[in-house]
Chains A and B, each alone.
Chain A
Amino acid sequence: MKLLIVDDSTVIRSRIARILGDARLEFIQVIGMAKNGVEALSLFSEEQPDLVTMDLTMPEMDGVECTEKMVTSNADASILVISALSDKATALKAMKKGARGFLYKPFTDDQLVEAFIELTSEES
């Protein structure tokens, strides 16, 4: 499965990739990383990923708008929102736009792996 990582923090992007590598989830291959919604949409269109991790607070285009556009373009893509915004309304808004999961920052390595296992088991 092809994964696109979207977050405006380089530390978070590389941490997500590192955790998935350490967990030996070999069926997941990171095919790209984007630091905002605009970059993410371009990579999404070029690479057609199966999975996306999506930050919400980003410059240029936020994660809710980006999620909506991705789902409109390919409803089969599974989007996991990873955000520090911890109010219920935001999580509901992201899910209504088509996100399939929500993980709050700060997350542990195990929480991220569990979120991916849950997301990909829904896929298969």
Chain B
Amino acid sequence: MVTVDARATGAGRGRRGHPIGRLVVSRLGGGVITLIIVSIVVFAATQILPGNAAYAVLGHNATPARLHALELQLGLNRSAAAQYAAWIGGLLTGKAGNSLANGQPVWALVAPRLVNSAVLVALSGLAGALIGVLLGAIAALRKDSLFDYVLSVVSLAVTALPEFVVAISLVILFATVVFQVLPAVSVLPPGTWAWQQPELLVLPIATLVIVVVPYIFRMMRAAMIEALESEYVEMARLKGLPAWRVLLVHALPNAVPPTVQVIGLNLLYLAGGIVVVEYVFDFPGIGQGLVNAVSNRDIPVIQLIVVILAAFYVFMNILTDVVALLATPRRRIAR
């Protein structure tokens, strides 16, 4: 029992605007700077570095004439700054150039994939968050029970599994060797959308949910246990409040903010996780698009997809912080 006299004296706090406004502005500013640097890095890496894009695309047996023609097409003969300006301008105005693989406009190629991937990420995120929070809360309430123990061990094992192992296992279980109840691949006919054939979404979503749930489960469990063992929950019990009220009104609101952070982190993770999962199931999203583009060295497509993923990361991060802040009165309201 150490009594420390170092209590914060609110003296240092001046009025510097609303905490949320301040956070959003500073984080948005930082995010935009990060994104600009990201775009420069992506651009420099793919277009300026030695053995330029045209060479990379055509390979060793390119004739000088073809090389020159491609350089012109890609605008490689201009200065680096001019190329970057043209590229970034194109990205923002929806004219990001044409695919090197089939000549189609890049945005037209990526846009439907983006929608499909967004559906996949949103549904997996939602399902993962719900399941994770629920299981975590139950495990915390039944701490040290068999349910808690089994779930903790399973979650520890599952966090370690690569997505493609999970995906293949699901294919073996439900689509090929053991049962054949679900499609092993999720190929969408051109012109159709992911949600029009829900059975195609089941295995990709299941894979992502399995990978994401353990993290959310572990955080929710830990946050909930911390809340349940806190002095304020002890106090609520000593006030003679009914058990449901102690749980829902006193413990839960304090377990939410850290869990929101982890849910956010896992949505970010999903942005990378879709690459492998879409590839396994042949699901036409940006992840599969990226793998194909890398195989074909389709530089404009790679550039666009990587920048989209980075932008998702940056803004999702900010959103997570804001939501977590809103859920924490101690941080939301100045003294």
Chains A and B belong together in one complex: no
**Interface residue ranges, B against A (CB under 8 Å):** none
**Interface residue ranges, A against B (CB under 8 Å):** none
